[in-house]
Amino acid sequence: MMQTHIENKKRGPDLAYNDAIREGLHQAMGASKDVVVLGQLVDYKSGVFGTTTGLVDAYGAERVQDFPVSEALMSSVALGAALGGLRPVIVHQRVDFMFYSFDSIVNWLSLWYFKSNGKSTVPVVIRAIIGKGWGQGPQHSKSMHSWFAHLPGLKVAMPATAYDAKGLLLESIFGQDPCIILESRSLFS
């Protein structure tokens, strides 16, 4: 059984959504050195809504890497990393800006298994956050889950509870298919 590397104030049904995601990432990274996390601000002390807090301290900057504002490049790097044997988890803090990476997702990640005639897989997990905060425009409220679900070879999840968020994250990280996990910003608070 995997052990967590963090302490949480709440456990069981009272575990907060962001704590469940952070705990899942810690468990996955502790279980396999091949799990890496990429994204804007993932290495900051506060983490991405608290979901990546402490990862860089526990696993180092090689496995938890801040990424420049280039969504297309981040998704392409994740594809290459997966082909090299890693299990990347990338974080798009805004699903709207993730649209810049559609070529990588639509034409490469989702179809890689078929393009390789079933000989290789790309186990990339994309965490995409939906929802706007105070003072932000309406473009941050899009959710493209139904559109993504129509792409062959791509799994799509929208966890509504902390339990689902952690379980679906771990299943996706250790699965063989690329997966997009859409997380509602309102569930973090």
- Nearest CA among 154, 73, 151, 77 for reference residue 121: 154
Given the residues 5, 26, 92, 140, the one annotated as active site: 140
Q: Return the exposure string of 124-161: e unless at least 16 CB atoms fall within 10 Å of the residue's CB, then b.
A: bbbbbbbbbeeeeeeebebebbeebeebeebbbbbbee
Residue 117 Rama label (left phi>0; alpha psi -120 to 50; beta): left
Q: How many CB atoms lie within 10 A of CB 12?
A: 7
Is 5 one of the catalytic residues?
A: no
Q: Which residues are catalytic?
A: 140
